[in-house]
Structure 1
Amino acid sequence: MQPVKVPPAPPTPGSDLAKRLFGTWWRRQSPSRQDRYATLGPLVSVLLFLAAIISAFWYLRNEELEREQESVKRDTEIAQQQVRLRLIESQEQLIRMARDIATRAIKPDGFVQPAAGFARERPEITHLMWVDADLRRQASYSSANMHMQVESSPEELDRSLPMPHREGVPERTFEATQQLRYPTYSIPYLNGFGHWVFQLQVPLIDNNRFAGTLIAEYSVEALVRYFIPADVSNRHVVTVIDSQDKVLSSTVMLMPGQIARPASIVHDVPLAPAGNGLKLRVQGYRTSIGLISNTLFWMVAALSTLTVWMLLGTWRHMRRRLQMQNTLVSETNFRRAMENSMLTGMRAMDMEGRITYVNPAFCAMTGFNEQDLIGHLPPFPHWPPDRYDENNRLLQQELQGRSPAGGIEVKAMRKDGSLFDARMYVSPLIDPKGVQTGWMTSMTNITEAKRVRDQLSASHERFTTVLEGLDAAVSVLSVQQGELLFANRSYRLWFGAEARGHAALAGGESAPALLGDFGDSVDSFGGLPTQELTEAGSDPREVYVESLQKWFDVRARYLQWTDGRLAQMLIATDITSRRNAETQAQQQAEKAQVTSRLVTMGEMASSVAHELNQPLTAITNYCNGMVSRVKADAIEKPDLITALEKTAKQAERAAQIIRRIRAFVKRSEPRREPSLAANIVEESVDLAGIELRRRNVALHIYVAQRLPVLMVDPILIEQVLLNLLKNAAEAIDSAGLPLPRRNIELRVIPRHTPDEGGVIEFTVTDSGPGLKEEVIGRLYEAFFSTKVEGLGIGLSLCRSIIESHRGRIRAENLYNGATVVGCRFSFTLPVETAKSTGLETALT
């Protein structure tokens, strides 16, 4: 019988498609990449095999560990349940016994029998005690001695029995039971025998009255010994710990000095229903072999490491074999990449002028490809038809080696017929043997460069036209040489073409133009970086040119000239008209200040007359008295001298008042000088005191000690203070306030603010009716006044004076809740701390 041939199964469409895709991808890879994949394939397979073995071992180990943890948890719950049921059962029987005691079914002399019956079946009970509400022991029973303990010795029950005036665990548990009237467990403590115990105190309730407690003392060690299942204690270590994790009892006792080995599995549960911080801890130890101790694992790891080492050796050998090939390919690719990435068109010709090579940049520049150019003889396709003769002449010049070193500028034609400007450089083409084989030409498209150059020329022309049309003088001077590099029409009109005009406009600066007089021997800018000078500007300043009788606003900065030299540019604007207007405005302001002082003194005329009347009346009285006594020959020489001294003192007082008023109203030029705030306040208060006394207003003054010196015009600041004090007195007088509220406070203190820095603040606070909100907004407007006969220039002038001293003035109402209780005017004056110490010493 002939064997039956089974035809092969047809390939599935999915496997056929995968093979085709893999074959296509494999053929696309380079030979070196195919060798790398062929080497890395076995290496990856071995690494995956080792990872699978490690994962299997890890999974089995974790599964066994989880089983051990579950066993520990289950045994813990079993032990907890046994102890819990025992405690609940004992608690219920104790509650019934306490009920019998409360109903007097059990009396002190009959307590022993039920207590002994209860403790006989419960070896964990060490003591049973009955105490009344006053902590007097009625009866007790101790299972340790197994006999009645009605009159037990204090030594045995001292720590277990609650005592009056003692702070211990039994006493705190007794108080908690008395308050809650519910069975209460105590925290563990050491009893009189040195054993860890805890108490359960059951309240005795007699007709809703607390009559004492029934105390049962449990031994922690007995609970562990008798009620932990044997199979649990055989498998694991069971311990009872308190809230501080202190071991109270354990199924395993250590030898003295022996340290317990840390358990790998630990599970804690509360020792319910005690609720006193006791916890049941079960500790388990792993019995499985770890991953590191598994011999099979290390055998697999050693075999895998050996395989990986052999594969790495093979791969290193293949890398050394392919190193030369890769170096050659890299060198070729690098040279070709350089040629292809160049933006300059390269063209090579043989000695006859035939094109032998063009790079991609040349093709992109002309639009022709390599087939259109290589092998061509003149005329070339990129020559414009109307320039054949000129380009042929230039080609012959190239072939003869007479091309200029700076290149030649030609017109070239693209394939689409458009023209562009190009610059060509020609050099001999030398082979490795030193023989010239042709000519190498590099070509650059300069169409955009020419366009930019033409635009720059046009822009420079427009810029020059704008500068020439400016009304301001613009000049640029070389710093080192002192040469005038540029000057516009306005500068030439005022100063001509001389550099001295630039030096005159430089004003307070060290004029750079003067550097030219010293040649190269002096260079004040040596060592300074040019970039720092050109980036740094200068503040505008005003310069007066004597020869032109003009004021100029000059702005200067350093810049780098077109040839790289450091230069200084000045822009000077004629501000003569503005300065004349400012001078006129200043003169008007000075007249307004004098007028304001005269108006103030006019308003105070009656008060001044009253103030002068007192010393003049005293002088008259003294003189008449002396005349009468002299005629009567009834005066002695000492009395006459005393009367004359008093008369002179009153005359001096009147002269001083007149002198201060004349100094205040005298017209003088504003003059700043070192002044002390205390002196300014003293002069102002002397003048304002006349008005204050007339209006019956009290003034309280506080001037801080050791204030810095102010650089101010004292007369103007006195005018501001006098105006504010007079306004405050008028506001208080017009409000008709009672005498206790007719007060003004003047304070002078130093302050420091982020926006103003160090200043001295003058504050005038009154208790008048305050200012309306709409008035505060217009308070400093000229000719605006809240007085019927006011001119409206006082506060406006005060603001001008303070701001001219670089200070600030402000006004605000004072409130008590929603009620206005006064007004406060304050102004600040800046201080110069650098000069204060010496000036203050000189003034003092």
Structure 2
Amino acid sequence: MSTIPRAIWRRWRSAWRRWSLWTALIALVVSMLVTMVWLAGRYEASQVQSHLERDAADAVSDIRAALTRNLQSLQALNSGDPGLLAWEVEASDLLRNQRELVRLEWRDSAMRLRTHVQSPYRAVLWDRGLRDHNNSEANQACSTARRLSSPAYSGSYYQPHVDGLGSELMELCLPLSTGGRASGYLIATYALQSVLADMVGASLTRSQEASFTEPDGTRLAVLGASRRGSRMFTAQQLLDLPGTTLVLRMDTWHTAPSVFPNVLTALVTAMSIALVTVMWVLVRDNRRRLRAERDLGDALAFRKAMEDSLVTGLRARDLQGRITYVNPAFCEMVGFTAQELMGHSTSAPASALYWPPERVEEYRQRQAIRFAGNTPPREGFESEFMRKDGTRFPVLIIEAPLINAQGLHTGWMSAFLDISEQRRVEELSRASQERLQATARLATVGEMASLLSHELNQPLAAISSYATGSLNLLEPPSATDPQPSAESLQDVRMAMRQIARQAERAGRVIKSVHDFVRRRDQAREAVPAQQLVDAILPLAILQARKLGVRVHTMVEPGLPPALCDRTMVEQVLLNLARNAMQAMDDPTIHTRVLDIRVKRAASNRHNVWLEFSVTDCGSGIPDEVAQKLFTPFFTTRTEGMGLGLSLCRTVVEQHGGYLGFAPHEPRGTVFTFTLPAHQPSKS
């Protein structure tokens, strides 16, 4: 009984193949016939369009030639310096012969009308005021001609007639010269409708429509045959004239392509070609099938080699969670063979072979969430796997839907990365970071100690000087009068106040340096620039007297107060002033002037800056020293620590400013730094 249905199946399959071939043949013949008819129509339409393009190009060429001839005739009108009467006679003859010309005008160099002649064929309403206006087309054309030193055309404009109609006109301006000097202009007015009628060949407009149009398609003048046909063809050519550009448009209408008388010949030819084509298609199909099988084998071998070379583990699962594919890298990662893993389901009561037993429920819940599609695809997450020998290792898992060739979701593809080495490197990096932080704290302690020793030298030295002076003042002036005088006691009180002020300043230095080393925000206040300068003047003058330096200060009036840490900025000013005076401690320098100035710096509408400058008359800074001047612990003096300028730059930069230096003419150096100005808040 099973033999009969099998025979019927084979007969049906053979008939289906036969009819499918005939169906393919008929479809091929019909498609080829339709294609030939369509191509014939396309060819005929392309011929019509090509012919129209040539006609449009010929029409533009004819117009250019006619305009050139008219230009020569117009140039001949004013040759030989004719009189007004003779010019009018010749111009009238020219207008009668050239109907496209409507009006001729002879104007002097100031565009005043000398004489004019109008065409006898058109009664045009001319407005003398409009033609003499500066914005008239004639004036614009003459302006262009004067600029180009050659004839120029104007754009088209509408001019009404006496009979109530009107036409589009265009002006031609021809510059005239006598003895090499401009003597006037000849203005010729063209009617665009007559240009089409007289300059375009009659054969071109007999079966086609010619028109001048604006670039946007607005028609200015039209001439030609009426519409005959169902399909319109259009060609456009630019008529580029000096001073203006017109578009010449040619339109023609054509009936449907006459290709149906050739259908029988096309049908016979198509059927013959189709028979040969079917045989060729069958042979080619067989060859392609063999080639596809060979290419498929090569692709599978290539994919297998590529997957075996990967260090990333790959695993494919179907929608039920059964493993359908693993690559060698995954097997090596978990320690199981491909035969042990294939077909194993993570959804079965038994857990996955590489899941830690204590985390089975957690992994199943996470897998159920991912299978339900509640997490975005290609999102990586970390997990922990167990090798066959029981060792645990961290992995990074990246999963994506597995889509087949028909676009159906058939499972999940997962990629696994063993991140054990990455975790080890991260741990080493974390330990190294902790050691670096400890080292940085030790360096900060050393930096604070160096800064304190450097900055406290100045107030302590001042305290010592004032204390010595006080002791000297307390000494009895003579053995007979052991009591000090009232004037001496007043000086002692002043010295004691200075000692207290310098002690308070030393305390502020310690606090400011401490905050600076810890990189905290210092307490900033609005301080007038004059107070900053006055605060350092007593100490600067003491050293200036020893070195024979004259101190000059200048603060620009009307400056806003500076927003700064008073103690640190005073220290910057004092350091720069002392460095400047020490730079002038040279026997060869006779003029020793220390100049301290404060002025408003270049600012914008958002921020206002003050510029402080300290100038000396020393020997300047050599290039090799300038490159390392702000380097910590670099100094050119044997007793220096090399921290002064480095600290000054750091303090200024913490305020948002800039510290720099430049040579001073005729000699010396000027150090400049900027500080932000205090801006009261606007209510």
Counterpart of 1:743? Answer: 595
Counterpart of 2:136? Answer: 168
1: distance between equivalents of 2:508 and 2:240? 103
CA distance 1:274–1:612, shift in 2 (3 Å): same
2:158 equivalent to 1:190: yes
How do 1:214-229 residues align onto structure 2 when only pairs under 5 Å count?
A: 214-229=186-201
Counterpart of 1:96? Answer: 76
2: distance between equivalents of 1:689 and 1:683? 10
Aligned with residue 69 of structure 1, among 18, 24, 49:
49
CA distance 1:69–1:798, shift in 2 (3 Å): closer
2:548 equivalent to 1:697: no
Counterpart of 1:236? Answer: 208
Counterpart of 2:255? Answer: 287
2: distance between equivalents of 1:222 and 1:820? 87
**AA in 2 matched with 1:659:** A
Counterpart of 1:771? Answer: 621
Task: Tell me if structure 1 keeps the 8 A contact 2:155–2:170.
Answer: yes
Using the aligned pairs only, state the percent identity. 18
2: distance between equivalents of 1:167 and 1:63? 51
1: distance between equivalents of 2:554 and 2:458? 24
TM-score where L is the length of structure 1: 0.43
**AA in 1 matched with 2:40:** L
1:569-592 CA distance string (max 9 Å, x none): xx99xx9xx99x999989986995
How do 1:370-381 residues align onto structure 2 when only pairs under 5 Å count?
A: none
Counterpart of 2:581? Answer: 729
Counterpart of 1:654? Answer: 495
CA distance 1:127–1:733, shift in 2 (3 Å): same
* Greater relative CO, 1 or 2 (CA 8 Å, sep 6+): 2
Question: Equivalent residue of 1:64, what SS?
Answer: helix
2: distance between equivalents of 1:181 and 1:342? 86
Counterpart of 1:688? Answer: 539
How do 1:503-652 residues align onto structure 2 when only pairs under 5 Å count?
A: 592=453, 596-597=457-458, 600-601=461-462, 605=465, 652=493
User: Cα distance, 1:96 vs. partner?
Assistant: 2.9
Task: Tell me if structure 2 keeps the 8 A contact 1:79–1:232.
Answer: yes
Counterpart of 1:418? Answer: none
User: Cα distance, 1:687 vs. partner?
Assistant: 5.6
How do 1:238-637 residues align onto structure 2 when only pairs under 5 Å count?
A: 238-242=210-214, 245-251=217-223, 264-271=232-239, 276-288=244-256, 592=453, 596-597=457-458, 600-601=461-462, 605=465
Aligned with residue 662 of structure 2, among 772, 796, 814:
814
User: Cα distance, 1:767 vs. partner?
Assistant: 3.3
How do 1:44-123 residues align onto structure 2 when only pairs under 5 Å count?
A: 44-100=24-80, 102=81, 104=82, 107-123=83-99
1: distance between equivalents of 2:610 and 2:424? 37
2: distance between equivalents of 1:276 and 1:86? 17
Question: Equivalent residue of 1:742, what SS?
Answer: strand
Task: Tell me if structure 2 keeps the 8 A contact 1:813–1:820.
Answer: no
TM-score where L is the length of structure 2: 0.52
Task: Tell me if structure 1 keeps the 8 A contact 2:56–2:248.
Answer: yes
**AA in 2 matched with 1:143:** S
Question: Equivalent residue of 1:267, what SS?
Answer: strand
Question: Equivalent residue of 1:72, what SS?
Answer: helix
User: Cα distance, 1:238 vs. partner?
Assistant: 1.0
CA distance 1:260–1:697, shift in 2 (3 Å): farther
**AA in 1 matched with 2:33:** I
**AA in 2 matched with 1:656:** R
Counterpart of 2:289? Answer: none
1:397-453 CA distance string (max 9 Å, x none): xxxxxxxx9xxxxxxxxxxxxxxxxxxxxxxxxxxxxxxxxxxxxxxxxxx988x67
1:250-308 CA distance string (max 9 Å, x none): 02699xxxx999984322234577774233211123422699x99x99xx9xxxxxxxx
Task: Tell me if structure 2 keeps the 8 A contact 1:597–1:719.
Answer: no
2: distance between equivalents of 1:819 and 1:186? 70
1:1-23 CA distance string (max 9 Å, x none): xxxxxxxxxxxxxxxxxxxxxxx
Counterpart of 2:363? Answer: none
User: Cα distance, 1:656 vs. partner?
Assistant: 0.7
CA distance 1:183–1:783, shift in 2 (3 Å): closer
2: distance between equivalents of 1:41 and 1:91? 74
User: Cα distance, 1:142 vs. partner?
Assistant: 2.6
2: distance between equivalents of 1:68 and 1:210? 50
2: distance between equivalents of 1:275 and 1:701? 65
How do 1:145-160 residues align onto structure 2 when only pairs under 5 Å count?
A: 156-158=125-127
1:505-553 CA distance string (max 9 Å, x none): xxxxxxxxxxxxxxxxxxxxxxxxxx9xx9899999xxxxxxxxxxxxx
Aligned with residue 792 of structure 1, among 628, 640, 646:
640
1:209-267 CA distance string (max 9 Å, x none): 5444444433222232344444432322211235665422102699xxxx999984322
**AA in 2 matched with 1:653:** M
CA distance 1:341–1:654, shift in 2 (3 Å): closer
User: Cα distance, 1:77 vs. partner?
Assistant: 3.6
Task: Tell me if structure 2 keeps the 8 A contact 1:799–1:809.
Answer: no
CA distance 1:675–1:767, shift in 2 (3 Å): same
Counterpart of 1:143? Answer: 119
Task: Tell me if structure 1 keeps the 8 A contact 2:238–2:246.
Answer: yes
CA distance 1:239–1:612, shift in 2 (3 Å): farther
CA distance 1:649–1:251, shift in 2 (3 Å): farther
CA RMSD of aligned residues (A): 6.8
2: distance between equivalents of 1:539 and 1:361? 37
2: distance between equivalents of 1:610 and 1:220? 109
User: Cα distance, 1:72 vs. partner?
Assistant: 1.3
2: distance between equivalents of 1:826 and 1:181? 61
1: distance between equivalents of 2:581 and 2:628? 21
1:134-156 CA distance string (max 9 Å, x none): 5554543333379xxxxxx9x95
Task: Tell me if structure 2 keeps the 8 A contact 1:729–1:744.
Answer: no
CA distance 1:685–1:178, shift in 2 (3 Å): closer
1: distance between equivalents of 2:250 and 2:78? 35
Task: Tell me if structure 2 keeps the 8 A contact 1:161–1:170.
Answer: no
1:85-108 CA distance string (max 9 Å, x none): 4434433333333325x2x4xx43
User: Cα distance, 1:728 vs. partner?
Assistant: 3.0
User: Cα distance, 1:206 vs. partner?
Assistant: 4.2
Task: Tell me if structure 2 keeps the 8 A contact 1:691–1:726.
Answer: no
User: Cα distance, 1:686 vs. partner?
Assistant: 6.4
- Greater C-alpha Rg: 1
2: distance between equivalents of 1:249 and 1:812? 76
1: distance between equivalents of 2:106 and 2:536? 93
